[in-house]
Amino acid sequence: MHSLSKRRVLPCLLAALWLLPGLVRAQPVTEYDLKAVFLFNFAQFVEWPPEAFASADSPITIGVLGEDPFGTALDQLVNDTPVKGRRIVIRRYERVEELDTCHLLFINVRNAARLNAVITALDKRATLTVGDAEPFLEQGGMIQFVTQDNRIKLRINLGAATAAGLTLSSKLLRPAQIVTTAQR
């Protein structure tokens, strides 16, 4: 990560961690606490097409599909904090068939065949898909968390995001590794 990018991303992460005072002081910050901060911040750096929202005051829905590794961290971050003038709603889903409107979805599916079925079901929807399993991007996911040297790094399948009608800010793209995959 370039030093300029670090200077921009680090304040966002620190500010988000400040919103977790009980969590930060009561116990050590975990990998998924940090990933929750990233998810919350992704909502600031993505533009959805207008038709992704039923109305001008519809919330941004952040979902977790599969087992929820975040505990209460994601809920504590949101805590009535609007993003782009919209409130944020957190939803948890066991199966992709349960999804209705979801703007940002963390997919906690490790099985490659099931992951492929989930990504296929979301095809052509304006849903930013995020995960940390291999081969997430190769299956058509958009943002993958990768842990290297005890640091969380981002890999982004920009083609998949663009195909879904999403625009990712350069502030999100700059510190990430852009990965080109075959389009579905």
Rounded to two decimals, the pTM is 0.83
The domain limits of the chain are 3-178
For 43, phi then psi, to 5°, come to: -60, -25
Looking at domain 3-178, which CATH architecture does it have?
3-Layer(aba) Sandwich (3.40)
**Residues 141-164: pLDDT tens digits?**
999 999 999 899 999 999 999 999
Owner of token pair 């079901």: 121
CB of 93 within 8 A of CB of 122? no
Name the nearest CA neighbour of 52 among 116, 100, 111.
100
Structure tokens at 159: 């083609």
Compute φ and ψ for 148, nearest 5 degrees: -135, 130
| Residue from 139, 126, 138 nearest 166 by CA | 126
The confidence band for 182, taking pLDDT boundaries of 50, 70 and 90, is low
Predicted confidence (pLDDT) per residue in 53-99, tens digit = 999 999 999 999 999 999 999 999 988 889 999 999 999 999 999 99
- What pLDDT does residue 111 have? 86
